[in-house]
Amino acid sequence: MVQIRRLSEETINRIAAGEVVERPASAVKELVENAIDARATQINISLGNGGKSLILVEDNGHGMSADALALAIERHATSKLPEGDGGNRMFHIASLGFRGEALPSIGAVAHLSLTSRTADGDNKTDNAHMVRVDGGEVSSVAPAAGGIGTRVEVRDLFFATPARLKFLKSDRAETTAVSDILKRLAMAHPAIGFSLTSDGRKTFAYPPETGADGQLKRLGAILGRDFADNAVPVMAERGDNDEETVRLYGFAGLPTFNHATAQKQYLVVNGRPVRDKLLNGAVRGAYQDFLAGNRHPALALFIDVPSGALDVNVHPAKTEVRFKDAGLIRSMIVGGLRAALAEAGHRASTTVAGQTMAAFRPGMNLNVGDAARQGDFAAQNINAQNFQAPINPSSAGGMSEAAAEWLSTPQAAAAMADSALSPAMSSSLAHLPLGLARAQLHETYVLAQTHDGFVIVDQHAAHERLVYERMKTQIAEAGIKRQILLVPEIAELEEDAAVLLLTRAEELADLGFVIEDFGPAQAGRKAVMLREVPAMLYGADLKAMLADMAEEMRELGAGLALKEKLEEIAGTLACHTSVRAGRRLNIDEMNALLRDMEATPNSGQCNHGRPTYVELKLNDIERLFGRR
């Protein structure tokens, strides 16, 4: 028989290294998190060959004594979990690190040296000490020279496991991975200064940021000044007391400030940067009314939750977390983002003007090979022409009160009767963001003159947004209209899915679904009876929809995704009931459309993400013709 034996300590450490230290960026992350836990206010990182030949992390934290240095390189030795807690502390972790695996894992596969000096004020003559670990071989602690804090030097990473070196990418790719890790940590801790030097060249240096606007300054330094100029604050809070309070804060980019990928979306939980599919789904739900499917917003969100409501011990790399109530977190993200975008009112991206005029610049020649780039440019820049008014839309169909009131004025009659604007009318235009209609082009586009330029409106896209917003308002005020089924629908589902739906029957009724139990479970299956459905879903595949709802509730803990689905269907209905392209409008109808747009939030684009209008300022037009 094959004998079972214990692995050697060297083999154990190298196996652990494979889990914790996957690449240079993993080692940097572990070392920097240790520096943050040591309450450092400045952390400097240097790399050689993307971290393959050198990783140097220096901090000014509280440091370690000689005895602590000897323990720090032993497996599962940590100062971050109290002794004798019976394991309960594992679910109340307040530090970034807690396993005590990073340093011995790195030392098992590299040349590691630690130099540290404590910040104790009683012993002013206390010297720094150093310990070395070479491929698992530990040297004795010896005196050294160094300032207060810790200096960690890692050379020849993975020299003890050459096979791992073959899986590393180029120096540039590894440096980029390290930079991304550091930027995420810098976002999470703006009060700490960070710097990165690669092969002797300074990559970035972020000074410590304090004060009320410190978070936004740090985000602007990392994501660019344009983000700081085009971001709105996000705030949400749930909970009755401090011990149960869940807090969401951060900044989200305006819909007009969008990108081709979701790489500029960041989530930080209790000071820990994480990658979570929950964020992606919640962001899509919050921005679904504002962006085309292939465009993504830029944002950085921070969540503070009670440590008992969060499990960070999910993955050795600590990049994933598990929420006790994932549905609550998702609803907070969606609600917080939508509230922030509503507060933004008519704000639009400060980058719009320059990008739009670039498309009209003389000599701009796009050949067939540039078709893909041209499509991206259009999506990024023309979709940016958004108008978001903070005024509530009309709750009824047809003309809004704002449009009807304006059309009844003598000024409106004079404007529509005479194509030439008097000085008085020019003055009144300053109060009309979308100006006065002057003509209709190709029975599709409305041309309107503003006090400092003109706008071109896509009549179908604009009216589609107006109808959609009215439908959403009706749903919010009067509830979802239900349709009684002549013959109730019987759906046989997995037992756990059916039970989950029945336990949420009251919530589903608010969404228009009335379900009842239909007999006992048999062979792991259970039937439910569907008596009423939302009127807009009449005729849909109801059995498949029930199964999908159960899956969403199991994953998210709520029916939020269903609400978003209903809004998506409302958008489709709005598209089919709005004014079509090719229909000739008179001057009254065109001006009524403009006033409705000014009184309707999010009227800058239709619910499919297409822009509703493009605005050009007179100064931009004069520069285009060389008059300025």
Question: Does residue 422 fall inside a structural domain?
Answer: yes
The residues, any chain, with a CB within 8 Å of residue 59's CB and separated by 6 or more, are 35, 38, 40, 42, 43, 44, 149, 150
Question: Does residue 361 fall inside a structural domain?
Answer: no
Q: Indicate if the pLDDT at residue 146 is higher than 60.
A: yes
Ranges of beta strands (E only) in 409-544 are 436-441, 445-450, 453-458, 482-494, 514-517, 525-534
Same domain, 398 and 535: yes
Between CA 221 and CA 195 the distance in angstroms is 12
Same domain, 300 and 187: no
The tokens describing 304, both together, are 């503070």
Between CA 177 and CA 23 the distance in angstroms is 9
Last residue of a domain, one of 148, 179, 204: 204
Question: Does residue 379 fall inside a structural domain?
Answer: no
Cα separation values, 70 from 122, 124, 132, 133, 301, Å: 22, 22, 10, 11, 39
For residue 59, the model assigns a pLDDT of 94
Same domain, 229 and 194: no
Same domain, 433 and 549: yes
Least confident of 104-108, 112-116, 487-491, 618-622: 618-622
Question: Does residue 17 fall inside a structural domain?
Answer: yes
Same domain, 130 and 234: no
For residue 605, the model assigns a pLDDT of 65
Model pLDDT for residues 208-224, shown as the tens digit of each residue: 998 888 999 999 999 98
For residue 35, the model assigns a pLDDT of 92
Confidence of residue 177 (pLDDT cuts 50, 70, 90): very high
Length of the chain: 628
Q: Indicate if the pLDDT at residue 83 is higher than 70.
A: no
The tokens describing 342, both together, are 């509503």
Model pLDDT for residues 303-355, shown as the tens digit of each residue: 998 877 777 766 655 667 778 888 888 888 988 998 888 776 545 555 544 55
Between CA 19 and CA 27 the distance in angstroms is 11
Same domain, 334 and 393: no
Q: Indicate if the pLDDT at residue 549 is higher than 80.
A: no
Last residue of a domain, one of 156, 176, 204: 204
Q: Indicate if the pLDDT at residue 29 is higher than 50.
A: yes
Last residue of a domain, one of 204, 223, 246: 204
| Domain range for 498 | 385-628
Same domain, 608 and 490: yes
Question: Does residue 239 fall inside a structural domain?
Answer: yes
Question: Does residue 371 fall inside a structural domain?
Answer: no
Same domain, 335 and 404: no
Count of structural domains, the chain: 3
Confidence of residue 164 (pLDDT cuts 50, 70, 90): confident
Question: Does residue 131 fall inside a structural domain?
Answer: yes
Range 513-531 average pLDDT: 88
CATH number at 533 reads 3.30.1370.100
Amino acid residing at 396: A
Least confident of 38-42, 552-556, 558-562: 558-562
Q: Average pLDDT, whole number, for the chain?
A: 77
Same domain, 322 and 243: yes
Between CA 447 and CA 434 the distance in angstroms is 10
Q: Which of 80-89, 114-123, 252-261, 536-545 has the highest mean pLDDT?
A: 252-261
Question: Which three-class secondary structure string do you get for 395-409?
Answer: CCCCCCHHHHHHHCC
Q: Indicate if the pLDDT at residue 110 is higher than 80.
A: yes
Query: Based on C-alpha coordinates, what's the Rg of the chain?
Result: 30
CATH number at 181 reads 3.30.565.10
Same domain, 196 and 287: no
For residue 372, the model assigns a pLDDT of 37
Least confident of 411-420, 499-508, 544-553, 560-569: 411-420
Question: Does residue 355 fall inside a structural domain?
Answer: no
Same domain, 199 and 218: no
For residue 412, the model assigns a pLDDT of 59
CATH number at 335 reads 3.30.230.10
Confidence of residue 420 (pLDDT cuts 50, 70, 90): very low
Model pLDDT for residues 365-393, shown as the tens digit of each residue: 444 334 333 344 333 333 333 333 333 33
Percentage of the chain beyond pLDDT 90 is 20
| Nearest residue to 462 via CA among 297, 590, 292 | 590
Same domain, 199 and 267: no
